[in-house]
Homo-oligomer: A and B are copies of this chain.
Amino acid sequence: MKKLNIAIVGLGNIGSYLFKYLIKNKMILAKKNNCIPNVIYLSAKNKNRKRKIKFNKKMFLNNYLDATKKEDIDLIVELIGGAEGPAKKLVFKALKNKKHVVTANKALIAKYGDQLSKIAEKNRVNLEFEASVCGGVPIIRSLKEGLIANKINKVFGIFNGTSNYILSSMEKENKSFNEVLHKAKKLGYAESNPKSDLNGEDVAAKLKILTSLCFNSFLNKNIHVEGIKEIDKDDINYAKKLGYKIKLLGYTELIGKHIYQRVHPTLIKNSSHVASIDGVLNAVIIDGIPVGKSIIQGEGAGPAATTSALISDISSILRGNIKFPFSISNKERKNLNFKQISGRSFSAYLRFEVVDKPGVLSNIAQIFSKNNVSIKRLVQDPNKNKGSSSIIIITHPSKDSSLNRIINIINNRSYVKKKSKLIRIDDN
């Protein structure tokens, strides 16, 4: 039987799990794919760091870039992480030297995927990145293969387990953002530096990759990104009273000839499928023709789920055929017309914390009316102890730019006690 020689670069939790998995399941994978996955080299920053895996020291490459030069390596699995630095160097050099690459690195693919894909195609090697988007959810392979027939209009979903855990725990346990974040770190659901999970950048990278796959387009930086740090307990509770949950969602939609990419906290009806997905789960919803609406969900992170994705990529390469990294040749990929969301319309939840005195409500209502935003529901919730009042407004669909203008105008009024909130609503 044929063999494929593999080097794993990066031996953190994921790299170690993958190595153990490949050793243990070598023969079953060989049987399924008609080719033996043969790990012959490992590399990582520090050779002597204590790790949970045992390996022959001769397998260890002191210089990780040697993996790109050694004649006997067919495939490099990059598990270093980060869009720049060593990961970037490794993957560029590997593809240039005609090595297949499997990576879990969403930041790298979202930033340099187009360039990398061109090198891979030119050199007739594979560049696979299932593990970069939603861990164990086999969304990339489903888009490239299972759902290949479809003209996709919309892809959206929950792409970040950490933020979803935080929002759903805030709701279920009625706790503050910081309390829940603290617990999430303890449980290993949030990293010690969870910045990119909370500010939406992690979701944005995944969404950019999905967008290119769904719409046969090049990667595009035109994306609206908001995180969840400003969501507080009160928002969660008001949303609940109004029949919604707050989720951090990523969306790409094709409307007419324009594509819109956006990541932001969203009010979504309690009865919707997405609202039911709590905790660290991820879910991707694809709306396509002819298939209709498909949902794929599962564990989005962690060494086990990520290994499931990495093995699916490695298996595809074991089976031997060369695939286009983005499903279609680079010369067929398009530069679509990506637009900013300011021109689009959304229903929205707006919340104002104001001094409780006569005239405030009518002033706010006037500002809405002057900006052509019509109010669907209004809740005034006075807090007598503080002499203040919360005003929650649900609007009819209105231009995003108008909604933002209202927030800016009202934030400058003297009766405002706290920065006002704007959270878009998913009406579907």
**Interface positions of A (Cβ within 8 A of B):** 17, 21, 25, 29, 31-33, 130, 136-138, 141-142, 145-150, 273, 276, 288-299, 303-305, 307-312, 315-316, 319-321, 323-324, 327-329, 332
Contact = CB atoms under 8 A, between A and B. Distances in A.
B291 A298 contact: yes
Nearest to A144: B32
Contacts of A130: 146
Contact of A21 (B25, B149, B294): B149
A239 to B, nearest CB: 19
26 contacts: A17-B290, A25-B149, A29-B149, A32-B148, A33-B148, A136-B290, A136-B291, A141-B146, A145-B312, A146-B312, A147-B312, A149-B307, A149-B310, A149-B311, A150-B308, A273-B276, A290-B303, A293-B298, A294-B296, A294-B297, A294-B298, A295-B296, A295-B297, A296-B296, A319-B321, A319-B323
A150 to B, nearest CB: 6
Contacts of A25: 149
A320 B303 CA distance: 33
A145 B141 contact: yes
B312 A149 contact: yes
Contacts of A291: 136, 298-299, 304-305, 308
A316 B307 CA distance: 24
Q: How many copies does the complex hold?
A: 2
Contact of A304 (B276, B289, B310, B312): B289
Contacts of A316: 145
Contact of A294 (B137, B146, B323, B328): B137
A144 B320 CA distance: 15
A294 B137 CA distance: 7
A146 B150 contact: no
Best-surrounded residue of A136, A305, A323 (most CB of chain B within 10 A)? A136
A187 to B, nearest CB: 16
Contacts of A297: 294-296
Contacts of A21: 149, 290
B315 A290 contact: no
Given A31-B332, A276-B276, A329-B31, A298 B292 contact: yes
Contacts of A141: 141-142, 145-146
Given A136-B292, A295-B295, A296-B297, 13 more contacts: A21-B149, A32-B327, A32-B328, A136-B290, A141-B142, A142-B146, A276-B276, A288-B308, A290-B305, A291-B304, A294-B299, A295-B297, A320-B321
Best-surrounded residue of A137, A290, A311, A329 (most CB of chain B within 10 A)? A290
A245 to B, nearest CB: 14
A288 B309 CA distance: 13
A31 B149 contact: no
A328 B28 CA distance: 9
Nearest to A148: B315
A326 B192 CA distance: 44
Best-surrounded residue of A33, A145, A293 (most CB of chain B within 10 A)? A145
A312 B328 CA distance: 15
Nearest to A295: B297
A32 B145 CA distance: 10
A2 to B, nearest CB: 13
A321 B21 CA distance: 26
Contacts of A298: 291-295
Contact of A147 (B138, B292, B327, B329): B138
B290 A308 contact: yes
Contacts of A294: 136-138, 296-299
